[in-house]
Structure 1
């Protein structure tokens, strides 16, 4: 059944991916109408999240952000499809880096990097980074339920020398790379909400106390890797600009959770500046009413 689903859907994805960008974004506009106006995909969650973190905004302002967010969400969906056929040259033109020397500095110092980001702007095309650096790229991801689509996604990422690894594979894979003296750049999307039984640190995020993932910081300290944040700015439709900010060159010189807190602050700055580019469909604040006494 999973293979049947794959062979039915794959030609459609390939067709969308093959469209020139003008038609690709025309399709995104149609998708926006269906996702937002017709089906209202997670509309209640998005509205609740926005009202929660922006209590000072009027209903009209919230509606404007929602409208812009769903347009951007659909653009990201079609851009993910475009990854199947987009050329390296085209991706380099559309996803640029303002200070690639920040990462090269760590390479020159023979240091691997934990690259932290949030569900903000665009993370689909960050893999083109591998054409600018020498280090091998790994990205932590959640394995897809359909093994055929999972294999396809891995194949797409690998064409730029980036490799997807699951959370369970991460520590072993990166420890082995360190033992073999391999330089690596390791991507962590670190703004998700962890399970309550695995929450070791609670912090205010967008003004609300929630549990936060600390895995990226812990691994950076264990393997002595520099920690770098990458922020994404949307220049115009289909064009993004990334800036790197080093949080910690020597992570073990930082107190517990200071690196994680610095990441959260940088993420907040992006969201406050242009909130429409954050992934509001996630139930990021679902545990806000479950703060243990020791964290209150």
Structure 2
């Protein structure tokens, strides 16, 4: 059944992936009308999240953000599909890095690097960073239930010289590379809500106290990694610019527990306040509060 589903859907994915960008974004506008106006996909969650995180805005201002978010979400979804056929030249034109020298300086320290980022702007196209780095790049992700689509995602990422590792593979991979002194870059999307059973730290995020992921910081301390934050701006439709900010460039163990995580959250907050329409409001980030 899973293979049949894959066979039925894949041709449509491929056709969408080869569309020119102007046609792709016309299609995105059509999808926006269906998703926002007709199906109202997770509208209650989105509206509730924006109201919680941005209470200082009027209802009219929050509605504007809501609509812009759904337009961006549809662009993001189709850009993910476009990744299947996009060329190296095209992705490097559309997703640029403003201060790669900050990252290169960390590579010279001869330590692996933990890259922390959020579900903001185009976190999918950030994988193109692997074209510019010298370390082996790993992306930690949650394995898809359908093995055929999971294989497809892995193939797409390998095109960008990225190696996907399931969350269960993360510690064994880091441990092996640490023992063998194989310096690597690990991309960790760390802004979503963890399971309460695995929660070690609560902190205010957008003014609300919530459980937060601390895995990036703890793994960096355990395997002696430097830590960097990836910030992405959406310049215009289909164009993004990323920049780096160092969170730790010495001994991460010198920081009190959770200080690096808290600093990461503050940086995520900053970019949300700058342009809230590009945050992934469909996730139930505030489902646990105290």
TM-score (norm 1): 0.96
User: Matched residues in 2 for 1:56 and 1:265: separation?
Assistant: 18
Alpha-carbon shift at residue 178 of structure 1 (Å): 1.8
1:66 deviates by 0.4
| Correspondence for 1:232 | 232
* Residue 167 (1) aligns with residue 162 (2): no
| Matched residue SS, 1:77 | helix
Q: 3-state SS of the aligned residue for 1:145? A: coil
Does 156-165 or 229-238 show the bigger shift?
A: 156-165
Using the TM superposition, give the Cα deviation of residue 70 of structure 1 relative to its aligned residue in structure 2, in angstroms: 0.2
Summarize the alignment of residues 204-219 of structure 1 with structure 2, pairs less than 5 Å apart: 204-219=204-219
CA distance in structure 1 between the aligned counterparts of 2:55 and 2:123, rounded to whole angstroms: 28
Q: Which residue of 2 is the match for residue 28 of structure 1? A: 28
Alpha-carbon distance in 2 for matches of 1:154, 1:233: 26
Match of 2:147 in 1: 147
Residue 264 of structure 2 is matched in structure 1 by: 263
Q: How many residues align?
A: 289
Secondary structure of the structure 1 residue equivalent to 2:185: strand
Distance 2:26 2:79 in 1: 12
SS in 2 for 1:193: coil
- C-alpha separation between the residues in 1 aligned to 2:17 and 2:246? 34
CA distance in 1, matches of 2:151, 2:195: 27
Structure 1 residues 115-139: Cα deviation after superposition (integer angstroms, max 9, x where no partner): 0000011111111111111111111
Aligned residue runs from structure 1 range 62-101, under 5 A: 62-101=62-101
Match in the other structure for 2:176? 176
Distance in 1 (alpha carbons) for counterparts of 2:229 and 2:71: 26
What is the rounded CA distance, in whole Å, between the counterparts of 1:111 and 1:26 in structure 2? 45
Tell me the CA shift for residue 38 of structure 1: 0.6
Aligned partners of 1:259, 1:143: CA distance in 2, in Å?
Answer: 27
Of stretches 258-267 and 169-178 in structure 1, the one that deviates more from structure 2 is: 169-178
Q: How far off is 1:221 after superposition? A: 0.2
Cα separation, 2, equivalents of 1:45 and 1:190: 20
When the two chains are superposed, the root-mean-square deviation of aligned CA atoms in Å is 0.7
| Cα distance in structure 2, aligned partners of 1:52 and 1:168 | 33
Q: Deviations over 1:23-63 (max 9, x none)?
A: 01111111101111110000000000111111121111111
Higher alpha-carbon deviation: 159-168 or 12-21? 159-168
Structure 2 residue runs of 5 or longer lacking an equivalent are none
Q: Structure 1: which 5+ residue stretches go unaligned? A: 292-296
CA distance in 1, matches of 2:50, 2:270: 16
Q: CA deviation at 1:177?
A: 1.3
SS of 1:12's partner is: helix
Residue 106 (1) aligns with residue 106 (2): yes
Instruction: Output the CA distance in 2 between the equivalents of 1:53 and 1:77.
Output: 24
Question: In structure 1, what is the Cα distance between the partners aligned to 2:65 and 2:119?
Answer: 16
Shift of 1:182: 1.3
